[in-house]
Amino acid sequence: MTVSRILRLSLNHFRNYRTASVETRGDLVVLVGPNGAGKTNCLEAISFLSPGRGLRRATLDDVADIQGDGSWAVSAEVEGEVGLATLGTGIEPPGAEGASSARRNRIDREPVSSAAAFGEYLRMVWLTPAMDGLFLGAASERRRFFDRLVLAIDSEHSGRVSALDRSLRSRNRLLEDRNFDSHWCDAIERETAELAVAVAAQRGQTLQRLSATLAAREAKSAFPSAHIALDGWMENALLTETATAVEDRYRDILRANRAKDAAAGRTTSGPHTTDLQVIYAPKNMPAKDASTGEQKALLIGLVLAHANLVAEMTGITPLLLLDEVVAHLDPNRRSALFDELLQLGAQVWMTGADPAAFTDIDLGADIFGVESGQVSRRA
């Protein structure tokens, strides 16, 4: 089993870091410091070494050091499935010769077309305090959360989701014109249906496998298990029907709904409306009705199960980014979390304001103090 590891992380003009470097020695990395010191910013920088907008879903301009020139860069020496490599991403200063507002990505200093290429070297899963309200929030948040789970298994999933979004926007714009070209609409809907089936199929496969993993670890974990399902007709249809049949049906739905969708200003049917349903297994009740503590424990259990699934399916144990994960855990749950992380064998980056919360962690952990954008190793 290969473990995704960061051996050295370097930041330049990222958030409150003018320049910083973190060199790891082991698989448990802990960042401690007061609120606002930059602990989460460090995890966010790592999250940009994967497709998408990072764990805060920030724009590229938002993460630049406000005292800098508008550029920023994150690079990491990593150890993964294909050996050692240096991954880098960032944007150049506005107005610089040849500068582009687009994000640049490099592997061993050679340009690559997108951050999806990083998936061959580094897989990651994260959990942040912003996700604590996942079960009470909008369906779009749960859908995005699940798509991140899929992405850790299939590094091309993010590209397909983005392509589907673009295709749907093209169709919506076309329907705004009362005299739209029906042949052109047919072509867009054909593309939309192909992409929709590809997205839904990968979600459905991941859900089945994750459900099995959750069931298998239910009695072995200190964290509660969950029963999960996707509330989307396409994902469920693909369990019993061929992709071709579902694709044909979706094209028929899109054609029949043109007037309805034109009036609504959006496409009303498809995998872009799918919701993730989660049941708190110990009490057999919707996760949204569980207590705050139960929801937090359930979310941790989901993420740990998913990390195990990624390792099982890809042969790569993913990197875990756990932001303030121990803050509201009692001592027993905290100790159980550390034990499960050690059993997983992943490299784990954790943050916390209180150093005492990590006293039970393995003595081999790397403990770093963070203060006003400065990172230093603690004894």
- Cα distances from 138 to residues 55, 119, 286, 288, 343, in angstroms, run 17, 28, 15, 11, 34
pLDDT-derived band at 67, boundaries 50, 70, 90: confident
Best CATH choice for the domain 1-123+318-379 from the list 3.40.50.300, 3.40.309.10, 3.30.70.2740, 3.30.450.40: 3.40.50.300
The residue extents of the domains of the chain are: 1-123+318-379
pLDDT recorded at residue 100: 63
**Which tens digit of pLDDT belongs to each residue from 173-208?**
999 998 999 999 999 999 999 999 999 999 999 999
For 251-267, what is each residue's pLDDT tens digit?
999 999 999 999 999 99
- Gap between the Cα atoms of 189 and 270, Å rounded: 12
Mean pLDDT, rounded, of the chain: 93
Give the DSSP per-residue string, 156-195: THHHHHHHHHHHHHHHHHHHTSTT--HHHHHHHHHHHHHH
Query: Do β-strands 348-352 and 104-107 pair in parallel, antiparallel, or remain unpaired?
Result: unpaired
**Is pLDDT above 70 for 218?**
yes
Catalogue the E-assigned strands of the chain.
2-3, 5-14, 17-23, 28-32, 72-80, 83-91, 104-107, 110-111, 124-127, 226-231, 275-280, 285-286, 316-317, 319-322, 348-352, 366-371, 374-377
